[in-house]
Amino acid sequence: MGLGKTVQTIALLLAVKQEDKELRTLIVAPTSVVTNWERELQRFSPTLSVALWHGQNRKDQIDQVKDAEVGFAMKGVPGDPTFKGKVAGDPRTISGQMTQGGMSMPFTLTWKGEPKIEAPPKSTKITGDFEGTWEGTLSVGANQLRLIVKLANEGEAARGTMVSVDQGGGEIPITQITQSGARLTLVIGPISGRYEGELKTGQIEGTWSQGPASFPLVFKRPGK
């Protein structure tokens, strides 16, 4: 508050725009500061094209946002996914292309209602048998994806990260870690992934699920 973050962000947008004329930016802001964003954009960046989508009467603002371009990138997710699209005839639908790991595919975003923010699921503590570093290879068709999982207890709950070595190597936080006896469940919210496995003879044998697909996946200690 009062530190000039809005103006700094606008200056960054102008600088980036000079390097990439096709770049589009989506700004999501609380209702209380929307008018301030609009005023500051008009004052400090009159050359930028701005479309406002806000309020209970936003359906009446279709002419302002129709054909407006929207783009975003997902930092830290394997393959550096990016999306570029346009607001379609229905103002609550954005259609375009999603690019990830060198592949591109059609992708559509549909408005499903007002945002509902839920508290993240709680993790349990894990025994020493599960703590530490684990490595596994996920076979998806002709692709072999090397995965590294790191697990540790912090206070009353376990924490962990997953790295997809062949998809950029970025660390992805594990949203939920739970242990029940010899069974371990990992939920990786940022990529809608889930792993369920059982500790057997020093390795974790289980199944990786992501969307409608599921694949066998075994984690072993490094060097095993």
CATH code of 169's domain: 2.40.128.20
142 and 99 belong to one structural domain: no
154 and 212 housed in the same domain: yes
Same domain, 10 and 94: yes
In a domain, 101, yes or no: yes
Query: Is 146 found in the same domain as 60?
Result: no
Residue where a domain terminates, one of 110, 140, 172: 110
Q: Are residues 20 and 83 in the same domain?
A: yes
Looking at the structure, do residues 104 and 25 belong to the same domain, yes or no? yes
Gap between the Cα atoms of 130 and 217, Å rounded: 16
Does residue 118 belong to any structural domain of this protein?
Answer: no
> Containing H/E element for 6?
helix 5-19
- Residue 109 is predicted with a pLDDT of 82
Q: What does DSSP assign to residue 52?
A: -
In a domain, 127, yes or no: no
How buried is residue 130: exposed, middle or buried, by Cβ count under 10 Å (0-12/13-18/19+)? buried
153 and 106 assigned to the same domain: no
Q: Name the residue range of residue 150's domain.
A: 132-220
Let me know whether 96 and 139 are in one domain. Answer: no
pLDDT in tens, 211-221: 788 899 999 99
Let me know whether 85 and 26 are in one domain: yes
Sheet holding 143-154, edge to edge: 171-173, 157-164, 143-154, 132-140, 213-220, 203-210, 193-200, 183-188, 176-180
How far apart, in whole angstroms, are the C-alpha atoms of residue 80 and residue 49? 27
Regarding whether 14 and 106 lie in a shared domain, the answer is yes
Task: Give yes or no: residues 20 and 97 share one domain.
Answer: yes
| Predicted local confidence at residue 1, as pLDDT | 40
Q: How far apart are CA 153 and CA 126, in angstroms?
A: 7
pLDDT computed for residue 209 by the predictor: 92
Asked if residue 98 lies in contact with residue 105, where contact means CB atoms within 8 angstroms, the answer is yes
Distance CA 112, CA 13 (A): 29
Low pLDDT (below 50) residues in the chain: 1-2
Does 214 lie in the same domain as 145? Answer: yes
| DSSP labels, 84-96 | EEEE-SSTTEEEE
Torsion of CA 34, 37, 38, 39, to 10 degrees: 120
Residue 39 to residue 62: CA distance in whole angstroms: 21
**Would residue 140 count as lying in a domain?**
yes
How many domains does one find in the chain? 2
Structural domain contains residue 197 = yes
Q: What is the pLDDT of residue 134?
A: 97
Residue 191 lies in a domain: yes
Q: How far is residue 104's CA from residue 101's CA, in Å, rounded to a whole number?
A: 8
Write down the residue that tokens 């993790």 correspond to.
123
